[in-house]
Chains A and B, each alone.
Chain A
Amino acid sequence: MKVRDIVSELDGVLLTGEDLLDVDIKAACGADLMSDVMAFVKENVVLLTGLVNPQSIRTADLMDIRVVVYVRGKAVPKDMIAEAERNGMAIMTTKYSMFLACGRLYEAGIRDGGTRESR
């Protein structure tokens, strides 16, 4: 699924990253705990999170996650958008809750595979 399809499935608002709209995304990770993102994400995923702070951008950047969706209609401050832009990432907001946003992407064909199993 392309980033542009994620925007459309989530009725999202893209804040930066127009040049990534045609990037193909196969898996997703929904988490508010950044340590879990670092512990469980294996390969390029779209990150869905309700955590709106610079650490969410930095965690994604460190894990080579290029697309972040902020759920529950949260407002994203300008300096975060600027940091994401500098990092070459796409970020968007959606009015949907974490549960519904994940559910909509699952229904649209996004599956697991980007995260490891817990032990």
Chain B
Amino acid sequence: MQLRYEVSGADLSLAGKASTEVKRALGRLGVNPGAIKRAAVSMYEAEMNMVIHGGGGIAIAELSPDRIVVTMEDTGPGIPDLELAMQEGYSTAPEWIRELGFGAGMGLPNIKRNADDLRIESVVGKGTKVTIIIDFNGFGGAQV
């Protein structure tokens, strides 16, 4: 099953909706709660990143019996220094994003903590593609 969402970079009131819908779908499929939470957190952080930095984009969730693969692709400015972006606390988000409760440099580290696999392909000036894989039996359902 594939779920596809256009994530708006302009309407902040919608940010997080795609992740909420994917969480519901995983719940209906009877996936274990720990894996659902890891998928939900990872996708939500990536969705917020795409809204904050990428100007919106396309989110695709591919669901199979044993795992979910989420790809989030934007045509934003790209990530110049990926190693720095992965550091907890490092952020380039503008001040107004902090008013949304995000932008403190926790997004990518939070995804890494929850995903079984995280791949980031980014080209400065062209965009960023984030791929998140959650194995439903990967962590034994426990969040770390």
Enumerate chain A interface residues (CB-CB to B < 8 A).
Answer: 32-36, 38-39, 42, 49, 51, 53-56, 58-59, 61-64, 79
B23 x A55 contact (CB < 8 A): no
Which 10 pairs show the lowest CB-CB distances between chains A and B?
A: A35-B106, A34-B101, A58-B16, A62-B40, A51-B101, A38-B41, A39-B110, A33-B104, A62-B44, A38-B110
A33 x B106 contact (CB < 8 A): yes
Enumerate chain B interface residues (CB-CB to A < 8 A).
Answer: 13, 15-17, 19-20, 23, 33, 37, 40-41, 44-45, 48, 98, 100-102, 104, 106-107, 109-110, 113, 143
10 A-B pairs within 8 Å (CB atoms) are namely A34-B100, A35-B45, A38-B44, A38-B45, A39-B109, A53-B13, A58-B20, A61-B23, A62-B23, A79-B13
Say what secondary structure dominates the interface of chain B.
helix
Nearest-Cβ distance from residue A5 to partner chain B, whole angstroms: 26
| Cα–Cα, bound, A49→B101 (Å) | 10
What residues of chain B lie closer than 8 Å to A42, measured between beta carbons? 143
Q: Which of B33, B44, B109, B110 contacts A58 (CB 8 A)?
A: B44
What residues of chain B lie closer than 8 Å to A35, measured between beta carbons? 45, 101-102, 104, 106-107, 110
Nearest-Cβ distance from residue A60 to partner chain B, whole angstroms: 11
B41 x A63 contact (CB < 8 A): yes
Which partner residue on chain A sits nearest B39 by CB separation?
A62
